[in-house]
């Protein structure tokens, strides 16, 4: 039996994917909605976030934004060019989008500046400890898991949910109008890029995952992929919950990455 997957229908139609993928997406739907419809984004849409909540969000999620190209680089290290069709697809996808994600980090900085945060605030500012867990999880999955599982945790789960909540925020211009006019255009660029109705990055990741895993994988591997998607959603929701606890959360200083890497080298 040929268990290879090749996309036949539309990229953005879930019916184009293997049954196991359709089931996985459906089973993860309630958890995903907990992220994409989170109260923080409804408050942001309506320009009702308190300054401390906004600060917690922009500084707390920054490590994921800043490190996202590195997550993809970790997955790129797993690719064996010319041996497996899914690896060839993943290589093109990852190399193309690493630069895109770097630009997105620049746009996030512009957004933070409009909200009153400096780059030093993003890098070294105190944040709710729980917000750090999401970036640690993404790094762990991309460093330790298989190519398919790492991409499921980040390029599918994180990027897909992000596009949806960004769309929610942009359904009203209230938040945009609340930003300083001088910085408004640059500040909204990150949100508007991620709210594009035709963003296919998460769907491209899902096609690659389907190609890597095939149409009839063993149940254990399907369970692994599902767990990576759900864990990403759960850490996203935990981070968002903690961001709403401003203005008086328990804060910790951001770890200095250079000191951490130096310590690792000495071990």
Cα separation of 230 and 30, whole Å?
10
Reduce the DSSP state of residue 155 to 3 states and report it: helix
DSSP state of 199: -
How would you write the pLDDT of the chain (267 residues) with one tens digit per residue?
468 999 999 999 999 999 999 999 999 999 999 999 999 999 999 999 999 999 999 999 999 999 999 999 999 999 998 888 999 999 999 999 998 888 999 999 999 999 999 999 999 988 888 889 999 999 999 999 999 999 999 999 999 999 999 999 999 999 999 999 999 999 999 999 998 755 789 999 999 999 999 999 999 999 999 999 999 999 999 999 999 986 543 344 555 544 445 544 443
C-alpha distances out from residue 96 to 65, 156, 245, Å: 17, 16, 37
The C-alpha angle with vertex 230 and arms to 109 and 246, in degrees rounded to 5, equals 45
Cα separation of 91 and 98, whole Å?
11
Q: Roughly what angle, to the nearest 10 degrees, separates helices 51-76 and 219-243? A: 150
190-202 per-residue burial string, b: 16 or more CB within 10 A, e: under 16:
bbeebbeeebebb
User: Whole-model pTM?
Assistant: 0.90
Cα separation of 49 and 265, whole Å?
41
Q: Do the beta carbons of residue 50 and residue 247 sit within 8 Å?
A: yes
């Amino acid at each position: 039996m040929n268990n290879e997957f090749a996309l036949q229908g539309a990229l953005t139609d879930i019916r184009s994917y293997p049954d196991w993928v359709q089931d996985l997406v459906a089973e993860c739907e309630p958890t995903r909605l907990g992220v994409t419809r989170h109260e923080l984004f409804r408050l942001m849409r309506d320009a009702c976030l308190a300054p401390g909540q906004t600060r917690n969000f922009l500084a707390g999620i920054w490590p994921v934004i800043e490190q996202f190209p590195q997550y993809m680089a970790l997955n790129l290290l797993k690719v064996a060019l010319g041996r497996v069709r899914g690896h060839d697809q993943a290589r093109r996808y990852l190399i193309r989008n690493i630069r895109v994600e770097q630009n997105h980090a620049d746009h996030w900085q512009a957004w933070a500046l409009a909200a009153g945060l400096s780059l030093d605030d993003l890098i070294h500012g105190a944040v709710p400890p729980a917000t750090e867990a999401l970036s640690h999880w993404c790094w762990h999955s991309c460093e330790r898991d298989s190519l398919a599982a790492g991409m499921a945790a980040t390029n599918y789960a994180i990027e897909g949910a992000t596009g949806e909540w960004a769309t929610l925020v942009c359904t009203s211009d209230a938040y945009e109008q609340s930003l300083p006019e001088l910085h408004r255009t640059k500040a909204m660029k990150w949100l508007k890029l991620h709210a594009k109705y035709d963003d296919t990055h998460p769907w491209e990741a899902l096609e690659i995952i389907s190609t890597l895993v095939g149409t009839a994988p063993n149940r254990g591997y399907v369970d692994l992929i599902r767990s990576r998607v759900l864990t990403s959603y759960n850490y996203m929701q935990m981070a968002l919950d903690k961001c709403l606890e401003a203005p008086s959360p328990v804060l910790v200083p951001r770890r200095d990455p250079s000191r951490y890497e130096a310590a690792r080298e000495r071990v």
